[in-house]
Amino acid sequence: MNQEIVKLLQAAVECSVFINPTEPGLTYAEILEVGKRAGYLEGEIGDAAPQAGKRYFGVKGIVPDDSALASWVFFFREEPDYRNFEAFDFVVSELNTRARTDGARNALLERRLVVERAMAKGISRHDIELAVTYLVMAKTLTEKDGIVRFTHNTGVQGLPSELLRSMGDRQPMRREARAKAYPIVKDIIERRTDGRLKNVEPLDAFGEALDKLNYKPFRLWWTQTVAELRHGDVHSSPVAVSVLAAALVEGALTFVVSHARRLGLGVFLSKDFDREPRTWKIDDLVASAASGSDAAILDVQTKNRAETLIRTRQRIHAGRMLSDFPMGVPDIRPEEARDAKATAEQVVRRVLDWLEKFPPS
């Protein structure tokens, strides 16, 4: 297994703690998306994903496992470092005060109160929440029902910044995988609540877009077709892969026709689109999507790739093959099937970009 991918996915799960400390963790789908956006292929990501972290009862996402958290017990300088040690010190200092006042066994605090006190001192909510979550996950603290305390009732403990300084002036540990994963995970988590489509992968994201286009009942059809395309083998089933890719191209353009016409844009103006959708042809959909000047969905390059895919797809029509290839139709090579997949993604990405420019109301 590619350990580079494993390290990236493990770092991504860790980054979810730094970015969203009150709800740490990533879903399995989000972990797969991290891998794809980092440039890895679906099969190798799927092989590595089970090692990204583990699930806990009551926690929605996959969080760092014990092996990843082992290093969190110690405070080393890191690069990049997303920890605010002023916040870490504040948490431990507050519990130290309780230990001196009430005794080691009774040193406990309400998490919400710690957060409010830290904010009153000018520490951001995010930084103090991260400090508490980090210390709990590192097993320095224990949290139950919103109450935090030292895991080991040994009384006053050293401040994290002091422990960090005790490590001397050694070079910071370079966290390459974490640096690579952090911006990807940040964008994924922000997409949960900022109104943007949650998926960056175009084929997945278009499934969400169907809801906004008032085609929610077709989401299952889209998802099934995408799944079959992804599982299709370009070596053993190049025709099936190409046909499914063309079906997604045709579907994505079909589902935006009504929206474009409702807005009065320069695409899909032909009277052919006044007729029943079952009469629409993929050739016309592609050609019309590339018209309309500034309102065009497809640029010239994407249009040309889509037209090449259409010609490949026409082999499912025996009559068309007799006309176009009277001496026999050539085989589809694996690289053509791979290109078909890439074309489907490119066309759907262009459709999504167009929907951001002309969003459904």
Answer with the residue of higher pLDDT: 321 or 264.
264
In 106-175, alpha helices (H): 111-120, 125-137, 160-165
Q: Is the pLDDT of residue 302 over 90?
A: yes
pLDDT of residue 334: 86
Q: Give the whole-angstrom CA distance, residue 313 versus residue 239.
A: 8
Per-residue confidence band for 25, with pLDDT thresholds at 50, 70 and 90:
very high
Per-residue confidence band for 36, with pLDDT thresholds at 50, 70 and 90:
confident
pTM for this entry: 0.66
CATH fold, domain 82-171, is: Arc Repressor Mutant, subunit A (1.10.10)
Torsions phi, psi for 154 (to 5 deg): -110, 15
Answer with the residue of higher pLDDT: 214 or 200.
214
- b (16+ CB within 10 A) / e for 153-162: eeebbebbee
Residue-range domain boundaries for the chain:
82-171, 202-357
Q: Residue 333, CB half-sphere, CA atoms under 13 Å: how many? A: 3
Per-residue confidence band for 195, with pLDDT thresholds at 50, 70 and 90:
low
Maximum distance among all Cα pairs of the chain, rounded to whole angstroms: 94
Q: Give the whole-angstrom CA distance, residue 85 versus residue 130.
A: 10
pLDDT for 91-125, tens place per residue? 999 999 999 999 988 999 999 999 999 999 999 99
- Residues 296 and 267: beta-carbon distance below 8 Å: yes
Would you say how long the chain is, in residues? Answer: 361
Per-residue confidence band for 1, with pLDDT thresholds at 50, 70 and 90:
low
pLDDT of residue 199: 65
Q: Which runs of E-coded beta strand occur in the chain?
A: 78-79, 108-110, 141-144, 147-150, 173-174
pLDDT of residue 9: 96
- Gyration radius (Cα) of the chain, Å: 27
Q: Which residues contact 196 (CB under 8 A, 6 or more apart)?
A: 190
- Residues 286 and 303: beta-carbon distance below 8 Å: yes
pLDDT of residue 56: 74
pLDDT of residue 58: 64
Q: Which runs of E-coded beta strand occur in 3-145?
A: 78-79, 108-110, 141-144
CB atoms closer than 10 angstroms to residue 294: 7
pLDDT of residue 40: 86
